[in-house]
Structure 1
C-alpha cells in the first residue's frame, strides 16, 4: 500500500513580506505554485492565512478570491514567490513583470569549477534559447531562438561544485538551468539537464532536489512608489550541507 506524501504547510519564517492584497512566500522545492489544488503554494498559503485573523485582515484577504500568482517558479526550484489576494494587487504586480521592471536574483550550486578573471565580478551567458524548454542533449531547444542573457557571479568553490549568484536579465523557460548546462556546469540535482550518473550519486548522498533557489525579488509593492527587495539572504539548509560535506571531503582527501 502506497502512503500519500504529507501535505505541505507554511511556517512563520516562510512569510518574507506582505502588504494590502499581496504576500511574499518562501516556496519549498517540489511544490507547484498553482494547478495542484490542496497541495500547491496558493492552497497552502490560503490555509495558513485563514487561521490567522490579524494577518488576513492586514492583507484584506477574501477567501472567495483566494491567492493567485502574478509570476511562476519551477516546481523543482525553491525560494521567494509573490502571491496576490486581490484583483488590484494582481494587476499591479503582473504589469511590472510584463514591463520587465522586476529584478530577480537566484543562487545555484553547479557542477565543476566555474571561474571568472580575478578583476571581473560578473560574467554573462548570452546563448539564444527557444521558447520551449530543451533537454540534456539540446538545452537551447528546437525551433526559433531569441537572444537571452543571464548574469552570474562566483560565491564559493569546493572540490566538485561552484556556488553562484545569478540574475536572468531575460525570461525564457528554465533559462538559468539551460544556460548553466550550455556552459558545461549543470545545476546540481537537475534531472532534466544534468547527467544520470550525477543524479544517482546525489541520491546516494540523500540529496534529492534541484540546487536552484530564488533568493530575492525587487519591485514596487502595490500602493507604493518605491522599490523594495523581498526575500531571504539565507541559503536553504540542504544546499549548505551539500557544500560543507564536499568541503570536508576535499580536506580529508587533501
Structure 2
C-alpha cells in the first residue's frame, strides 16, 4: 500500500518510496511497477500525475483525480507557485547556505515528454540550499585519511530533470547513492557501512495553492525509515528535530558484514 498523505475529491498526495517509477517510460523498459498503476488500483479510480519525481527519490508525489486538476497543478509547477523542500546527504561540506544558478541541458526523457515542443538549449535552473549538519568519518575512501559528509536541505526554484542531483554535482558535493552523478567509491562505502543501496535524496514537503479552492496546502512526507536510520547512525537526529523535520522510526540495522563507521 502506498502511504496517502493528503486526499480530497480533486487531488491526492502519496509518499513515494525510493526505487519506484511514477509512470511507464522507454528509458526503463523492463520495469513493471509504477506509482500511477499502484495508486489507481489502491483507490479504485484513475489518477493523473501533476509532476515528476525520480525513480530513486522518495517523498511527496502529487496526482490529480481528474485531468483538469492535474493540468492546473502542472501549471502551478511551471509558474513556480509550488514550494518544494528536499533533504539529501552529500559528499563533502558545502557552504552553510548557497544559491546554485547553473543552466541545464535537456535530458533524453525531457524530449520524450515534450516531443517536438521540447525547448532548445540549456534551460535556466536555480536551487537554494542550506547545510544542516556535518560529520567527518575516520575512513579512507579517496586519497584522504578521512571523509566528510553533510546533511543538506534544498529548495529547487525551477523544475529541470535531475536538477538537484546535477546541481550538487556541479558544486562538487554529489549526493550519496547517486549512481549517475555521484562518486562510486563513496556510494559503495555507505552501502557497506549502512547496508543501504538507495539515493539519499527525499522530497520532504510541498506547499501550493489548492487548484480549486485557492487555499494554501502543505503536504509533508516523513523521512523514510531507511534514510532515517542512516541519519541516526551519523548522529544527526538532533538536526532533524531542531529544524522540525519529521521522520519515520529508523529500522534496526543488519550488522552482518558491515563496515565499521567510527573508530
Interval containing the TM-score (normalised by the shorter chain): 0.7 to 0.9
Q: Are residue 20 (structure 1) and residue 4 (structure 2) matched?
A: no
Q: CA deviation at 1:132?
A: 2.4
Aligned to 1:34: 23
Q: What's 2:87 paired with?
A: 107
Q: Deviations over 1:163-188 (max 9, x none)?
A: 11101112221111011111111001
Is the 8 Å Cα contact of residues 27 and 78 (structure 1) preserved in structure 2?
yes
Deviations 1:100-154 (A, max 9, x none): 21111111111122232xxxxx411112221227xxxxxxxxx932432110011
1:5-43 alpha-carbon deviations (Å, 9 max, x no partner): xxxx32xxx211111121000000000011179621111
Aligned counterparts of 1:225 and 1:195: Cα–Cα separation in 2? 43
Paired residues of 2:104 and 2:160 also in contact (CA < 8 A) = yes
TM-score (norm 1): 0.76
Matching residue within 104, 126, 144 for 2:101: 126
Q: CA separation of 1:38/1:192 partners in 2, compared to 1, >3 Å: closer, same or farther?
A: closer
Tell me the CA shift for residue 199 of structure 1: 2.5
CA distance in 1, matches of 2:157, 2:231: 27
1:228 to 199, 217, 233: 217
Aligned to 2:185: 197
Contact 2:176 2:183 in 1 (8 A): no
2:48–2:67 CA contact under 8 A, matched in 1: no
Q: 1:210 aligns to what?
A: 199
Match of 1:174 in 2: 162
Partner of 1:3: none
Partner in structure 1 of residue 250 of structure 2: none
Q: How many residues align?
A: 212
Unmatched 5+ stretches in structure 1: 1-8, 51-62, 117-121, 134-142
After TM superposition, the structure 1 stretch with the greater mean CA deviation from structure 2, 154-163 or 73-82, is 154-163
Q: Which residue of 1 aligns with 2:121?
A: 144
Task: Say whether residues 1:76 and 2:56 are aligned partners.
Answer: yes
Partner Cα distance (1:20, 1:174) in 2: 31
Give, in whole Å, the separation in 2 of the partners of 1:74 and 1:97.
16
> CA separation in 2, counterparts of 1:111 and 1:235?
19
Q: Alignment partner for residue 43 of structure 1, among 32, 37, 40?
A: 37
The runs of 5 or more residues in structure 2 that have no matched partner are 26-30, 109-119, 137-147, 237-259
The residue that corresponds to 1:237 in the other structure is 225
